[in-house]
């Protein structure tokens, strides 16, 4: 199991705390330090629509210019943005055997999936 995110994100912290409390083993993948690659994002985009993977409420999205925001219109433009600015990816992303188990964190979703 892998948990993708940014360590100082409050939602990622909640997910990590929940996983630790429930003794769920996972490897943490820091977007900022390790980054993300094309193959990983293509895999995710094959599982979820790009609209779900882009975090439009976060500071990274809000700090984009209107031109940058309006350029994100499809799978390819979303992929380009996520590769350039990994912080725009909704987090955390919990993955098991290459499959997204949960996107974001809610205790109910984690209980249901794990």
| Active-site amino acid positions | 9
Contact assessment for residue 13 and residue 23, using Cβ atoms and an 8 Å cutoff: no
Contact assessment for residue 107 and residue 18, using Cβ atoms and an 8 Å cutoff: yes
Return d(Cα 94, Cα 100) in angstroms, integer: 6
């Amino acid at each position: 199991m892998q948990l993708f995110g940014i360590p100082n994100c409050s939602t990622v912290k909640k997910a990590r705390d929940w996983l630790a409390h429930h003794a769920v083993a996972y490897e943490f993948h820091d977007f900022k330090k390790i980054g993300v690659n094309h193959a990983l994002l293509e895999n995710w985009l094959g599982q979820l629509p790009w609209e779900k993977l882009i975090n439009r409420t976060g500071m990274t999205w809000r700090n984009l210019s209107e031109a940058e925001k309006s350029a994100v219109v499809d799978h390819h433009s979303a992929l380009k943005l996520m590769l350039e600015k990994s912080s725009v990816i909704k987090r955390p992303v919990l993955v098991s055997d290459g499959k997204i188990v949960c996107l974001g964190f809610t205790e109910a979703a984690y209980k249901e999936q794990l």
